[in-house]
Amino acid sequence: MSKPVFITRRERFNAAHKLYNEKWTEAKNLEIFGKCANPNWHGHNYDLYVTVQGEVDPETGYCMDLRFLSDLIEEKVIEKTDHKNLNLDVDFMRGKMASTENLAIAIWEQLEAGIAAKGCRLHCIRLEETENNFVEYYGAS
Q: Using the rule CB under 8 A, which residue among 62, 74, 92, 112 binds a copy of itself?
A: 62
The answer to whether the beta carbons of residues 51 and 7 sit under 8 Å apart is yes
Backbone angles phi, psi at 22, to 5 degrees: -60, -20
129 labelled catalytic: yes
The answer to whether the beta carbons of residues 49 and 107 sit under 8 Å apart is no
Determine the angle formed by the axes of helices 100-116 and 66-73, rounding to 10 degrees: 130
Q: Give bridge partners of residue 126 from the DSSP assignment.
A: 49, 136
Residue closer to a copy of itself by CB (options 88, 113) is 88
Q: Give the x/- contact pattern for a copy of itself in 103-122, rule: CB under 8 A.
A: -xx-----------------
Q: Using the rule CB under 8 A, which residue among 22, 35, 91, 117 binds a copy of itself?
A: 35
The answer to whether the beta carbons of residues 68 and 114 sit under 8 Å apart is no
83 labelled catalytic: yes
Q: Using the rule CB under 8 A, which residue among 74, 82, 92, 121 binds a copy of itself?
A: 82
| 6 touching a copy of itself, by CB under 8 A | yes
Residue of 49, 48, 55, 50 lying closest to 120 (CA atoms): 55
Residues engaged in binding a copy of itself (CB under 8 A): 1-12, 14-17, 19, 21, 23, 32-36, 38, 40-45, 51, 56, 58-63, 65-67, 82-85, 88-89, 96-102, 104-105, 130-141
Which residues have a catalytic role annotated?
36, 83, 129
